C-alpha cells in the first residue's frame, strides 16, 4: 500500500498545547499538529508516558518540534505550576485530557469529584492562568462529548456528590466543559480569539494505527474489531474534528464540531449541534462564577 502523502506544513511558527497528549486522542492531536509543522507542547502528568509519546511522534515526524509540560489536571497546584512554566506564546490550547471513573468516591488531590474536577475544573483553572500567554488570535478548544446530552447541568451543585450512573456524571463533566467554552466565546465576542468545542465521536484503540509503546492491541483484537469500523473509528479519526477546530479557517468563535457521519460516531469533521443547556447564557454565567468560587482561580479582568 502507498504511504499517505505528507501533510502541508501550514502550521509552522504556531505553538499549540495539548493536554493529555501522551495517549489516545490527545496523542493523535499532537502527532497530526506536529506533522503539519506546529510546535507542540504536550501537557502530561507522567514524564515516562510523555517521553514514550515524544518518541512515537518522532517515528512519524523526525523533525517534530516538541516540548513536554508537566501537568496534572487533578491538582490545582500542578495546573498553576504548568501555567507559570509555559513561558511562550500559545496559538492554541486543546483541552483534551479526560477521565471516566465508576467510583463515586474518586477525588482529585483538591478533593473535587474526579470527573468534574479533572475534565472541567482543571481545564477552567488552566485556561484562566494561561490567558497572559495566549496569542491575540489564539483558540481554546475543549473536547466535548455526545454524552453531554445525557446529563443535566446545575452550576449550584457542580461539585456535589453524584447519584445516578457514572456515564451521567461523565456527561455532566463534559457538559460543564462545553458550557464554559460557550460562555468564553460570548466573553470573547469582540476579540479575535476563539473559544470552540469539538468531540471525537466514538473512537476506540483497536481501530487505531499502532504506535510504539501506546495502547498496544493484539492482532486478534484488531481483527475482531474490524467490522465495527462501519460505525465507529480509531482515535486518529477521533482527533480530526479537534485538530480541525484548532486550525481550520472554516471555524468561528462559539462553534461545535464533531464527526459528520451516522450518529456523529465517525466521519469527516462537520459543524454539529450542542444542547440548549450548554449554550444557555444563564447557565454559562452561573457555571463560570461557581468554577471561580470552587477553584479560587479567577480569569484576568
Ligand atoms: N474515545 C472516545 O470515544 C471519546 C468520546 C467522547 C469524548 N472523548 C474525550 O476525548 C478525550 C480523550 O479521550 P481518549 O479516549 O483519548 O482517552 P484516553 O485514551 O484514556 O486518554 C486520556 C488522556 O487524558 C490524560 N489524563 C487523564 N487524567 C489526567 C490528569 N489528571 N492530568 C493530565 N492528564 C490526564 C491521560 O493521561 P494518563 O495516561 O496519565 O492517564 C491520557 O493522556 C477525553 O476528554 C474524553 O472524555 C472520548
- Which ligand 1 atom lies nearest to the CA of residue 22? 43
Residue pair 148/182 in contact by the 8 Å Cβ criterion: no
Q: Does 205 fall in a domain?
A: yes
**pLDDT band at 227, cuts 50/70/90?**
very high
Classify residue 300: in a domain, yes or no: no
Output the DSSP codes for 21-61. Answer: TTSHHHHHHHHHHHHTT-EEEEEES-HHHHHHHHHHHHHH-
Q: For residue 198, which phi and psi values (nearest 5 degrees)? A: -150, 150
CATH of residue 185's domain is 3.40.50.720
User: What is residue 114's three-state secondary structure?
Assistant: helix
For residue 283, the CA-to-ligand 1 centroid distance in Å is 25
Picking from 168, 164, 173, 174, the residue whose alpha carbon sits closest to that of residue 198 is: 174
Can 256 be counted among the known catalytic residues? no
**Enclosing domain of residue 107:** 15-295
- According to the model, what pLDDT value does residue 1 have? 41
Residue 153 lies in a domain: yes
Per-residue confidence (pLDDT) for residue 3, from 0 to 100 = 63
List, for residues 64-105, the tens digit of each pLDDT value: 999 999 999 999 999 999 999 999 999 999 999 999 998 999
Q: What is the mean pLDDT of the chain?
A: 96
Using pLDDT thresholds of 50, 70 and 90, give the confidence band for residue 301: confident
Q: What angle do CA 210, 43, 109 make, to 5 degrees?
A: 115
Q: How far apart are CA 212 and CA 209, in angstroms?
A: 10
Distance CA 161, CA 169 (A): 10
Q: Order of strands, edge to edge, in the sheet holding 90-95?
A: 65-70, 39-44, 15-19, 90-95, 134-143, 194-198, 256-259, 269-271
pLDDT of residue 156: 95
Say how many Å lie between the CA of residue 170 and the centre of ligand 1.
12
Q: Is residue 22 a part of any domain in this protein?
A: yes
Given a contact cutoff of 8 angstroms between Cβ atoms, the answer to whether 125 and 297 are in contact is: yes
Structural domain count, the chain? 1
CA–chain centroid gap for 237, Å, is 14
Is the Cα dihedral 203, 205, 206, 207 positive or negative?
positive
pLDDT recorded at residue 238: 98
| Residue 301 domain-assigned (yes or no) | no
Segment 245-295, tens digit of pLDDT: 999 999 999 999 999 999 999 999 999 999 999 999 999 999 999 999 999
Mutate to test the pocket of ligand 1, among 17, 26, 147 (most ligand atoms within 8 A of CB): 26
| Gap from CA of 23 to ligand 1 centroid (Å) | 7
Q: Rounded to whole angstroms, how far apart are CA atoms 55 and 39? A: 15
Residue with cell 518518541: 55
Has residue 135 been placed in a domain?
yes
Active-site residue identified among 27, 170, 202, 256: 170
d(CA 160, CA 175): 15
The verdict on the CB of residue 232 being under 6 Å from ligand 1 is no
Amino acid at each position: 500500500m502507498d504511504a499517505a502523502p505528507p501533510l502541508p506544513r501550514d502550521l509552522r511558527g504556531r505553538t499549540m498545547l495539548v493536554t493529555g497528549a501522551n495517549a489516545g486522542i490527545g496523542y493523535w492531536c499532537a502527532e497530526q499538529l506536529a506533522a503539519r509543522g506546529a510546535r507542540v507542547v504536550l501537557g502530561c502528568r507522567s514524564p515516562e508516558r510523555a517521553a514514550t509519546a515524544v518518541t512515537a511522534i518522532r517515528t512519524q515526524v523526525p523533525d517534530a518540534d516538541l516540548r513536554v509540560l508537566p501537568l496534572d489536571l487533578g491538582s490545582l497546584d500542578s495546573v498553576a505550576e504548568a501555567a507559570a512554566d509555559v513561558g511562550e506564546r500559545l496559538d492554541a490550547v486543546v483541552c483534551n485530557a479526560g477521565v471516566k471513573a465508576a467510583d463515586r468516591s474518586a477525588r482529585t488531590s483538591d478533593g473535587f469529584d474526579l470527573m468534574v474536577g479533572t475534565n472541567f475544573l482543571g481545564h477552567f483553572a488552566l485556561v484562566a492562568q494561561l490567558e497572559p500567554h495566549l496569542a491575540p488570535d489564539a483558540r481554546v478548544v475543549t473536547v466535548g462529548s455526545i454524552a453531554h446530552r445525557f446529563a443535566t447541568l446545575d452550576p449550584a451543585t457542580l461539585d456535589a456528590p453524584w447519584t445516578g450512573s457514572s456515564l451521567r456524571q461523565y456527561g455532566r463533566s463534559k457538559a460543564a466543559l462545553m458550557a464554559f467554552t460557550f460562555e468564553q466565546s460570548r466573553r470573547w465576542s469582540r476579540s479575535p480569539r476563539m473559544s470552540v468545542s469539538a468531540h471525537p465521536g466514538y473512537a476506540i484503540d483497536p481501530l487505531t494505527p499502532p504506535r510504539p509503546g501506546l495502547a498496544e492491541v493484539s492482532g486478534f483484537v484488531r481483527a475482531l474489531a474490524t467490522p465495527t469500523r462501519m460505525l465507529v473509528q480509531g482515535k486518529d479519526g477521533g482527533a480530526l474534528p479537534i485538530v480541525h477546530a484548532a486550525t481550520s479557517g472554516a471555524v468561528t468563535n462559539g462553534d461545535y464540531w464533531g464527526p459528520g457521519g451516522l450518529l456523529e460516531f465517525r466521519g469527516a469533521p462537520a459543524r454539529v449541534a450542542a444542547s440548549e443547556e450548554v449554550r444557555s447564557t444563564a447557565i454559562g454565567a452561573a457555571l463560570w462564577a461557581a468554577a471561580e468560587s470552587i477553584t479560587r482561580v479567577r480569569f484576568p479582568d
